Chains A and B, each alone.
Chain A
């Protein structure tokens, strides 16, 4: 797995490099041959012009004219080559020594090399030209040009093309190797971490970087998935723990109560009393049990709770209608500050129950002042809805605020008031279901404000 040549990405880069090199090579070859031909044609044309000029000179002045012409031409420095000699190869006039490696092509062009000493340095020159033979005197004249520059140009073009081609191949393969090794390392990191997680290291998370590429997205998605699973598992474990701890106690109470009644040789009235108590306890147990179930259902996010447009004002007014008499009976002033026309999508029953729980909490625990009041408020912000229940009771200490959202947490240690300790927990789940946030704030001068904010689109 650690060999990058096995990696799809590397193979892809390799094939790509190969294709690129081949096509680049073809283009360069084409360019090389066409430009080389153009250079040669241009040089040849100059020689052909010279040959024609010489033909005219010969027709006018014959041998002497030719002689004078060559002399005249070579009296100044030139890239043109002239070498006049007779049938027995005796040098008559010209600007180069006898050429070596003389090669006559099929199309009449002559290619040759010669050595010359200029400024004390002997150098090899390359020439190309044509041989002219006079019809009567049997004189020969080699006319041509020094083509060193053209050859150099062609060579330079050839080698630079070759090098750039090699560079492309090298960069492609080497770069591909580096890139895929990097890629491979990230994948093997992901593999290693997932193996760790599978081995039971559930809190570990896949490595992510700042980038936004597919691999990173994959990692973050998997991480989110793991977080979600983790919280599901945690809440499930909590439920199990809670059931174990908090349902056992009342069950034990029921059992002992019934057992003791049996032991004490009771009369029919005592039986009735005992059974009544047991029924009351089981009813409470059932309520608690139902609450746990619905909280878990909401929190698991798997519930298919329907959402529809809710008129928040109506929802709150209905709840106030339900709770106003009991608040009144306890001398609590229940008021509302609700903006009209607040609509949003949510689950009616869940939200009603959540607000009902908050109201019940406020009525039961927030009415310690001499003039207790509870305010239910709602208003629409730009992108959210605020919903609050405030009282002027004792409030909750900062250190307890986080705790009270958990299951089965009850702050009054005496537990003088009945309750399951699930109220705020359900509120929290309901708020989470609506993607909202829940804050516990201090009221002035005393009391608690439970503020719920639900985002709306």
Chain B
């Protein structure tokens, strides 16, 4: 991915650039809002990472200007303001995702990945397919190897979320926000239990062909080998 990082703090920027380069991305950096806006509008990036508090032009205004220019590059806000209402404010200004500082790097990578895939032309088909796993959004049928799997409504929603992001790491927070729409950290491993339930239905009966993987220190991924 070609990413533009608009961040005024040099230490934070260098650590982000290092991490993102390690993960195989190409990074450009702007250190204030005006430079960031110029660069964002000048060349084609896959994703913009925007800090909210920037000199010269603040992050929210920058995003608004980018959107006013009919530019729909996915934008991720990084901000020390982590409350739900701040997040809502950010999304209202045209950002696609919002990550509060401090964050874990795996969370950032997972979200960047998700944003990048979102940018791909998505088939509006009612049938999701990952390997031999099929999910029909209309009839709400799920089958693997042609065998029907009986899922609870929430398990269905969870699987749908994962199948829309095949071979991608999704974090627990992303699942909690995307499937349950909660914006708080549970102290218990609720998500893990949901995943293991789902796994017992879509993986366990089909020995040897695991699809739902736990990504250590990051989250989960639904994978299949092409």
Residues of A at the B interface (CB closer than 8 Å) are: 276, 279, 282-283, 286-287, 290, 293-294, 297, 303-306, 318, 321-323, 325-326, 328-329, 349, 352-353, 356-357, 360, 363-364, 418-420, 423
Contacts and interface: CB of A to CB of B under 8 A. Distances in A.
Interface string B96-110: 000000101000000
A293 B86 CA distance: 14
Interface stretch (B18-26, B43-51, B183-191): B183-191
B190 A352 contact: no
B190 A325 contact: yes
27 contacts: A276-B217, A279-B217, A282-B102, A283-B104, A287-B185, A287-B187, A293-B82, A294-B83, A303-B83, A321-B154, A322-B180, A322-B186, A323-B190, A325-B194, A326-B188, A329-B193, A349-B84, A349-B184, A352-B182, A352-B184, A356-B184, A356-B186, A360-B186, A360-B187, A360-B188, A364-B188, A419-B187
Contacts of A423: 187
Contacts of B186: 322, 356, 360
Contacts of B189: 326
Nearest to B152: A321
> What is the predominant secondary structure among interface residues of chain B facing chain A?
loop
A306 B85 contact: yes
A353 B189 CA distance: 15
B102 A363 contact: no
Count class of interface residues, chain B:
20 to 34
Nearest to B179: A322
Contacts of B188: 326, 360, 363-364
A282 to B, nearest CB: 8
A356 B193 CA distance: 15
Nearest to A354: B184
A354 to B, nearest CB: 10
A203 to B, nearest CB: 33
B205 to A, nearest CB: 18
Contact of B182 (A322, A329, A419): A322
Interface string B204-217: 00000000000001
Contact of B190 (A276, A297, A322): A322
Given A283-B104, A290-B82, A349 B194 contact: no
